Structure 1
Amino acid sequence: MNNHIDYIELAAKDLPATQAFFEQVFNWQFESYGPDYIAFSNAGLNGGFFTAQGSSKQANGGALVVLYSDDLELAQSKVEQAGGEIVRAIFTFPGGRRFHFVEPSGNELAVWSQ
């Protein structure tokens, strides 16, 4: 039996802003499935965003989606330039470094590097 995480879905208050952000910062590709859902690819793991007023934040018990970048400082700069909010600046942890940000729909994600 093959069991693994295959797909992730996140809430988004503003699908167009969220799509533009991830296209600009991380070069994700999107496909629209009507007015309330967009699927993303080219992200290491496929997934989608659905229209909802809620958002996911680690402090509220939400799962933290952690992305990888081989240039952490450049990734943080691109997040800031695209309108993302840095909620935890680059810090060191056992095994690497990372930062946390909030994208336009209010979801908190992180980016790590070695």
Structure 2
Amino acid sequence: MSAHHHINYLEIPVINLAQSKQFFSTVFNWQFKDYGPQYSCFLDVGIDGGFYETTQSFSLANGSPLIVIYSENLSETQQAITTSGGTISKNIFEFPGGRRFHFLDTNGNEFAVWSE
């Protein structure tokens, strides 16, 4: 059941839907359910959402919010990202409460991964 006034769904633009599904499935073990050829939903990853095909990508530089994913092992996750075609855009750094890094997925979208 959805909670009143809580964020409960994200829609993320991607240039290549099949490539995005492969990347996030391989690196983060996400599962998908397709709704037509240009939309795929991800569930049970902390928040539900979906990828939709478009010609645009997002980054902090153009004012987009940062989607942050938790990892128990930053180094392993960082290696999985680069092995799967992603690019590290900001190396691991400390911040109050933990450490994190930023990466670009195979579509050029910027995400972060953090750990305590």
TM-score in same-fold range (> 0.5): yes
> Aligned with 2:55: secondary structure?
coil
- Does residue 109 (structure 1) correspond to residue 115 (structure 2)? The answer is no
**Paired residue type of 1:16:** A
d(CA) in 1 for partners of 2:104 and 2:44?
20
- Provide the secondary structure at the position in 1 that maps to 2:25: helix
Figure out how many residues of one structure are paired with residues of the other and give that number.
114
Percentage of identical aligned residues = 46
Q: Deviating runs (4+, > 6 A) in structure 1? A: none
**Where does the alignment leave 5 or more consecutive residues of structure 1 unmatched?**
none
Q: Whole-Å Cα distance in 2 between the matches of residues 112 and 50 of structure 1?
A: 25
User: What corresponds to 1:79 in structure 2?
Assistant: 81
- Aligned AA for 1:41? L
CA RMSD of aligned residues (A): 1.0
Give the alignment's TM-score, normalised by structure 2: 0.95
Counterpart residue number, 1:41: 43
Q: Equivalents in 2 of 1:92, 1:46: separation in Å?
A: 28
Displacement of 1:106 after TM fit? 1.5
Whole-angstrom CA distance in 1 between matches of 2:109 and 2:43: 18
1:61 corresponding residue in structure 2: 63
Q: TM-score, normalized by length of structure 1?
A: 0.96
Where structure 2 has 5 or more consecutive residues not aligned to the other structure, the ranges are none
Please give the secondary structure, in 1, of the residue aligned with 2:64. Answer: coil
Q: Which residue of 1 aligns with 2:90?
A: 88
C-alpha displacement of 1:57 = 0.1
Give 1:61 shift. Answer: 0.3
Is the Cα contact below 8 Å between 1:27 and 1:42 reproduced in 2? no
